[in-house]
Structure 1
Amino acid sequence: MKKVLFVFGLVIVVVGIVLLWGFFGPATSFRDKVYYLEIPTGSTYGQVLEKVSKDNVVKYPSLFDFLAKRLNYPDKIKAGRYAIHHNTNLLNIIRKLRNGAQEPVNLVINKLRTKEDFAGMAGRKFESDSIRFLRFLNSNDSLLPYGLDSNTVLCGVLPDTYTFFWNTSPQIVMNKILENYKSFWTSERKDKATEMGLTPVQVSTLASIVDEETNNRNEKGNIASVYLNRLKKGMRLGADPTVKFALRDFSLKRIYHKHLLVESPYNTYRVTGLPPGPICTPQKQTIDAVLNAPSTNYLFFVAKPGFTGAHAFAADYQEHLKLAREYQQFLDSLAKNPKAEETGH
């Protein structure tokens, strides 16, 4: 009898050790350093358990189920994106899920050219898909409090890093981004825009054109002055990047006369004044470059030969033609078929 009790007790001890090791020892089944477990809004415990098992998150789903139920996790399912690190034990995994300790999502916005670009990027980052984000971007009622509409909404999407949770709704995501836009437009910046006879949206739209013209910070002010001078004189802006936007072909390296035929309110070779909205997300520093543009008599500019990123500026059209021919000759010397004629700014 004593031998039976000893064996029985030994079995209990072994089982206890196994269970303790199962609960507190390394429990993950994946090889990567981290696995991101995404639990959609409205998920049931059964769906979570199925995902944990199907995706090989843990070695022993039955032990996960056993411990989860004793920690009341089935009644405390929280949607989100959770970082499960390699060799984490079951107790810590379940506690993280039960407490809703999500991994933050950084939405890094640099240059985006269209609403579809933004919606696609956001749809890959969040639980909501791109269609839901695009729906918000096209909702004039949602954008009205920010002084924006479906054409100008990208004026409010300033390049920056924004932190959210994976299951944050499109409305909350956009509200945070647009509040940043409102904060950026201080009274001082608004006053400068007013003195120029422009609204914040118009300044941002012009800044988007400047951003597409150059990455050279030192020249943004001068390029802005060219377009400001043209606006004052009632001249067409004649900005090549607006033609690319109108064509939705951002791969174009040279703009030819055939491209200028496109019928679009964004084609500033055919329409006078600013386009109805930005052609990319304007950088803060470029908006400031527009607001603080130097007073010049420049009306034209063209890239200098050599792909240095520098531009030559001119107040006289004949001087501009001379500079433009020099640049065209440089391009033609590199091109295989230099027959087509390129336009100047």
Structure 2
Amino acid sequence: MHRFRWLTIAILTLVLAACSPGAPKDAEVVIPPGASIAKAGQILEDAGIVSASSFRNEARFFGSKDPIKPGEYKVEKGMDAGDILALFQSGKTIQRLVMIPQGMPSIMVWERLMAEERLTGEIPVPPEGSILPDSYAFTTGESRAAVVKRMQAAMDRAFDELWAKRTPRTAVKDRNQAMTLASIVEKETSVPAERRTVAGVYTNRLAIGMKLQADPTIIYPITKGKPLGRRILRSEIQAVNDYNTYSMAGLPKGPIANPGKASIAAVLDPEANDYLFFVAKGDGSHIFARTLAEHNANVQKWYALRRERGEM
């Protein structure tokens, strides 16, 4: 009896091997959520990799009971039905990523997603400040709307966690104010160690009703956050709108970019300092001042140095 059983298995193995030649080429296939063995087999056959019957038979007679997992897989040349089944059950999918850097405005997030040819469907420009900057995995054929939903859900989780840790020093009263100020901080400094200091400056200004005078708020209504590509005009500095913090006191009506977690955390727990001014040193960092006289001296000093270096 045992001999008969092993003989049967041996015969089946030979038959299946004969009917299941290795994949003729490297190929990439997408297994949708909820796909059955039969569906996966048909996808493989349509791609010219192995026959659907070979894949089904391999799963029926020799495969484990582990489910196949959805995602995009690379099937390498020479893999037989059994190898492919094991691959699908392992969940070792191709990791395609779309990266959203800190401070990227939503119009550029939209352009990046629309330029990704492996994604599908149309989307509107996401609301500013709703996307958490990070790298996001996606599958070929996935909808852009689904990717945006993950990005926004990540921001919701991050904000809720940070909001719960806010300190009494913060000047913001709600999420919109927090995202708005965080987006300004994000645009004003690229130095991680400065974020809480810059947030402290703006918190101090808001406390005494002083204009924020943040250059990125001048640019946002003009370009929606994209680089201006030239010097700011006097007329643009004087423009009156819902964003320009040179022509109004207080915060703009909304965010001017998508801030990262560090900038959000900075405005929710700003540094306790008495600075009211800062000027760029030309290397991405800034020098801070408490008085206008001190600030003007810093401006003259650093502008002179930057002119010497040919930066201005």
Question: Is TM (by shorter chain) over 0.5?
Answer: yes
User: How many angstroms does 1:274 deviate by?
Assistant: 1.5
3-state SS in 2 of match to 1:269: coil
* Structure 1: stretches of 5+ with no match in the other structure: 1-15, 138-149, 339-345
Partners of 1:197 and 1:112 lie apart in 2 by 19
Does residue 83 (structure 1) correspond to residue 74 (structure 2)? The answer is yes
Q: Establish whether residue 266 from structure 1 lines up as the match of residue 257 from structure 2.
A: no
Match of 1:119 among 110, 118, 121: 110
Q: Which residue of 2 aligns with 1:93?
A: 84
Partner of residue 6, structure 1: none
Kindly indicate whether the alpha-carbon contact (under 8 Å) linking 2:131 and 2:155 is maintained by their aligned counterparts in 1. yes
* 1:173 maps to 2:160: no
Please show how residues 12-31 of structure 1 align to structure 2 within 5 Å.
20=17, 23=20, 26-30=22-26
Question: 1:207·1:282 contact (CA, 8 Å) conserved in 2?
Answer: yes
Q: In 1, distance between residues paired with 2:231 and 2:305?
A: 13
1:36 aligns with 2:28: yes
TM-score, normalised to structure 1, is: 0.64
Aligned-partner Cα distance in 1 for 2:193–2:69: 50
Residue correspondences, number: 285
Relative distance call for 1:224 and 1:260 in structure 2 (3 A) is: same
Report how far residue 324 of structure 1 moved.
1.5
Query: 1:202 corresponds to which residue?
Result: 177
Structure holding more helix per residue: 1
SS of the residue 1:326 aligns to:
helix
CA distance in 1, matches of 2:243, 2:272: 26
Distance in 2 of aligned mates of 1:116 and 1:40:
30
> Partners of 1:172 and 1:331 in 2: how far apart?
44
Deviation at 1:41, TM superposition (A): 8.7
1:281 aligns with 2:273: no
Cα separation, 1, equivalents of 2:20 and 2:97: 32
CA distance in structure 2 between the aligned counterparts of 1:51 and 1:258, rounded to whole angstroms: 62
Deviation at 1:233, TM superposition (A): 2.2
* Partner SS, residue 51 of structure 2: helix
1:303 alignment counterpart: 280
Secondary structure, aligned partner of 2:184? helix
Alpha-carbon distance, 1:239 to partner: 0.7
The CA deviation string for residues 58-106 of structure 1, in whole angstroms up to 9 with x for no partner, is: 3xxxx53452465799xx9997422324542233335656998754655
Structure 2 Cα separation of the partners of residues 251 and 232 of structure 1: 30
Structure 2, gaps ≥5 residues long: 1-12, 61-66
Q: Secondary structure at the match of 2:293?
A: helix
What is the root-mean-square deviation in Å for CA atoms of aligned residues? 4.2
Contact kept in structure 2, 1:112 and 1:118, CA below 8 Å: no
Sequence identity of aligned pairs in percent?
A: 27
CA shift for structure 1 position 22: 6.4
CA drift at 1:276: 2.3
Q: Is the 8 A contact 1:214 1:309 kept in 2?
A: yes
